[in-house]
Structure 1
């Protein structure tokens, strides 16, 4: 089996386990917190995500890219950056804890004070964890990364459920606080685990070479970090603005404060959790592809670079279409089975294109980064974020159009950024992502998907109508997604014969 496929399988397995654990814990958690509690949870996490991104900047990704190109430079830089991030993260965590009441007031709900205080310690640990993972990715130590991700999620899930359930007797705010504290406990355990491979890798670092390498590499490293920070920062800023704008504009449209936070929780918490779940495979593709195509670009292997990029986009496109059809057809079943709320069905169906758009955005961003064109994804996300914020402000306050306006604003960010990235890639390599073959493949998947949906529905009515309704729905969803994804996978293998991965 090609090395690329082995690494992708490892990363996909780890990400799948993490995503499944995260999705499973959110079922009882969201039922425990309710729509309003989920809204508070999402608002607290939007603040945390913004500050975390500002602290870590683009350091982990820049370190990974530099380590992939020159392992010695990566070894030397990771030591210095660990100290820097420890100081910055510790300061940010302390300030967030101390000024939590003011932050909650700024975000429009004093109930956020305690959740922000309980998520503040994670701002010290999580940046260090991300940096270590970035270095280990550069030396292609995917086994340790995958194990740490599973460990982190396991501890996080146990903490979230344990504290949220225990503290729920004190009120919804304390239940939310217990849930967000899991980010800290999970990161601590994962970081302690990764200190073993990190120490093994760094034990041969030479002090004199350390100083020379830092002086030579630091300007390039910082420039790349800032460029990547701009890319990473736009999405958390957009999510933070959503947390500020959407609840207030829903109230302007006629909802009460509790109804607005509950609606925000249904869309940004429950529906978004469901629609982003299928992106696990494209995330793994992007993660493992990045080292390979960076090496191809550096060594001027243009043919290999184009082949790998085309294959990654083919996978993202095909699997994204399968996931989109699944969410569109089974939105009602997903909303009831996962969250026990039929109202979430409409948000899931409206957002069903997210797996396709997000997968393409992740892969195209990786391709542009490998070409050392870090500014281009920044521009696309910036234009998309501006479009999203403007549409959110204009549409959400229209009476009776709050759900639709929120969804349109979220989709606009992904659409604009994907179109921009593809346009920039085609300027340098016109053979990457050919429109007509992609359109033909989409039509093919659509026809097969509609046929599978009709056939499964007919068979279920004829042979399984006596079984419990929940079992029937799960059976149809598993057969639909598993069958269609397997068919597309076999079709992909047959078309490309996998030799292009070498």
Structure 2
């Protein structure tokens, strides 16, 4: 993958990621104002179960499809690509039917005995139609990414968020009179509608591009597909290992937290509300900059695979340094800003200033999270996905142990859960970093690792001190926007003065078409 293709694909994904994150936050603010912390807790208690089943359904195939399609495309081997799609659709189709039936059958058990809040049942049932939808979407997304065409993925993400945000208020308000549990299920229905619209666009784009007649002699393409299936599984199973471990960890998280808070003396409603504050308010804010590093990560897998096959470790280091530096810039600013301005941020966005302390607990550690995705993408591209899985597994085991140990302490409560998640962020990132450094050589720029966070801290703390001295008589939202603009300007100026931004970078990017 050439430099221009890598940068162009990454820019497309970053632009889409920024748009979807903005729309996503609007969606969360609307949902939070209607449902409150307790309703968000019900919503987020159902979501980890869905993510686990989607991971099992997709089986890591998007990464495998992308990799194998990227290898077949230069040879114009359309027969191989059609086999890849046919086998993938068959596997995910069968799995999606099995797991959809399983979730409908077991939803009552999950709600009553695992998350300990029977009201989560309706959210679980409402979300089940999304399983086959995401299965087909994943296959098409892997195909387009393997063809190094990031636009369909980007546009589908935006469509999904637009449809979701258009319907979430309608669905939740329509069902709210029947109870909070039904309103949470209404929010889930808006998610299903968004994913459905996204899939329709992907199908239209696939048919519009006319890459190959997939429906023509579809079952004939499955004949002799055993070798393709083996090739897919060789990539998919190790790649899905880390996702599966992460999904199981997320699945267990609300269960452990709910039971631990009960041991600490909290009622079911209070435990659900506190979990809603952590998982629905705080963590999404900390995940904000990850759309940048995720965009790089998607483009990194085929780029690193190509470089690793040629034993071009210098190229791997350059690609990863570009990504880590970008993540460090975005992550350092967001981590510092959310720590310093936690109270006004939580008050303005969610009308939940009491949750600000959780944001301050986790914000300093979130910088490690922004490095984790790119490091894992490099491990997958270098055929070290199994090592990445064991790193993720180690972090998950320690996180779940700490969740129970900390959260069950009455003096800690939900703060203990925040600390356990923070430990996981740091541990898994350091393990990934150790393996990548050993496999590809030193990839960390010491000067950047010290200067960028220091510059972000100076910009944010300095702006906060100036605002306290000035004490403007303006609404809190206006003060927050002033603070972000001022701190962002100072941070950018410091980076420019240090040479991290220059005109040659902008000319190179602007020349890409």
TM-score norm. by structure 2 comes to 0.90
The answer on 1:433 being equivalent to 2:444 is: yes
Q: Deviations over 1:270-323 (max 9, x none)?
A: 111211122221122222233322222223333222211122112222221111
How far off is 1:112 after superposition? 1.6
CA distance in 2, matches of 1:285, 1:7: 9
Larger deviation: 382-391 or 147-156? 147-156
Cα pair 1:64 1:136 within 8 Å, conserved: yes
The answer on 1:84 being equivalent to 2:87 is: no
Question: 5+ residue gaps in structure 1?
Answer: none
Q: Deviations over 1:107-139 (max 9, x none)?
A: 212112211111111112112112211111111
Task: Tell me what 2:144 maps to.
Answer: 136
How far off is 1:470 after superposition? 2.7
SS across alignment from 2:408: coil
Task: Tell me what 2:201 maps to.
Answer: 193
Question: 5+ residue gaps in structure 2?
Answer: none
The answer on 1:28 being equivalent to 2:30 is: yes
Which of 314, 317, 323 is the matching residue for 1:312? 323
How far off is 1:435 after superposition? 4.4
Task: Tell me what 2:412 maps to.
Answer: 401
CA distance in 2, matches of 1:499, 1:363: 25
The answer on 1:47 being equivalent to 2:49 is: yes
SS across alignment from 2:288: helix
Which of 102, 116, 126 is the matching residue for 2:124? 116
CA distance in 1, matches of 2:504, 2:378: 20
CA distance in 1, matches of 2:21, 2:313: 34
CA distance in 1, matches of 2:255, 2:328: 33
Q: Deviations over 1:37-80 (max 9, x none)?
A: 11111101111111111111101111112222223344421122
Spell out the pairing of 1:146-185 with structure 2 (5 A cutoff). 146-185=154-193
CA distance in 1, matches of 2:492, 2:24: 22
How far off is 1:89 after superposition? 0.7
Task: Tell me what 1:230 maps to.
Answer: 241
Task: Tell me what 1:11 maps to.
Answer: 13
How far off is 1:83 after superposition? 2.5
The answer on 1:411 being equivalent to 2:422 is: yes
Task: Tell me what 2:105 maps to.
Answer: 98
Spell out the pairing of 1:342-421 with structure 2 (5 A cutoff). 342-353=353-364, 355-421=366-432
How far off is 1:439 after superposition? 3.0
Cα pair 1:75 1:202 within 8 Å, conserved: no
How far off is 1:471 after superposition? 1.5
Runs of 4 or more off by more than 6 Å in structure 1?
205-209, 498-502
Cα pair 1:308 1:500 within 8 Å, conserved: no
CA change 1:230–1:164 in 2 (3 A) is same
How far off is 1:494 after superposition? 3.5
Which of 244, 250, 255 is the matching residue for 1:244? 255
Task: Tell me what 1:261 maps to.
Answer: 272
How far off is 1:497 after superposition? 5.0
CA distance in 1, matches of 2:454, 2:479: 28
CA distance in 1, matches of 2:495, 2:86: 44
The answer on 1:446 being equivalent to 2:453 is: no
CA distance in 1, matches of 2:181, 2:222: 49
Cα pair 1:144 1:197 within 8 Å, conserved: yes
SS across alignment from 1:353: helix
CA distance in 1, matches of 2:179, 2:417: 29
SS across alignment from 1:492: coil
Cα pair 1:76 1:214 within 8 Å, conserved: yes
Cα pair 2:289 2:370 within 8 Å, conserved: no
Task: Tell me what 1:331 maps to.
Answer: 342
CA distance in 2, matches of 1:479, 1:498: 22
Which of 458, 468, 474 is the matching residue for 2:481? 474
CA distance in 1, matches of 2:81, 2:501: 36
CA distance in 1, matches of 2:261, 2:312: 52
Aligned residue pair count: 498
Larger deviation: 443-452 or 182-191? 443-452
How far off is 1:482 after superposition? 5.6
Cα pair 1:380 1:421 within 8 Å, conserved: yes
CA distance in 1, matches of 2:162, 2:492: 27
Q: Deviations over 1:143-193 (max 9, x none)?
A: 121111111111122232210011111110110011011222112111111
Cα pair 1:251 1:257 within 8 Å, conserved: yes
SS across alignment from 1:24: helix
Cα pair 1:250 1:397 within 8 Å, conserved: yes
Q: Deviations over 1:368-424 (max 9, x none)?
A: 111111112111111111110111111111112113211111112111110000000
Q: Deviations over 1:4-54 (max 9, x none)?
A: 333222111111111111111111211211111111111011111111111
TM-score norm. by structure 1 comes to 0.92
Cα pair 1:61 1:225 within 8 Å, conserved: yes
CA distance in 2, matches of 1:489, 1:156: 38
CA distance in 2, matches of 1:67, 1:96: 32
CA change 1:436–1:6 in 2 (3 A) is closer
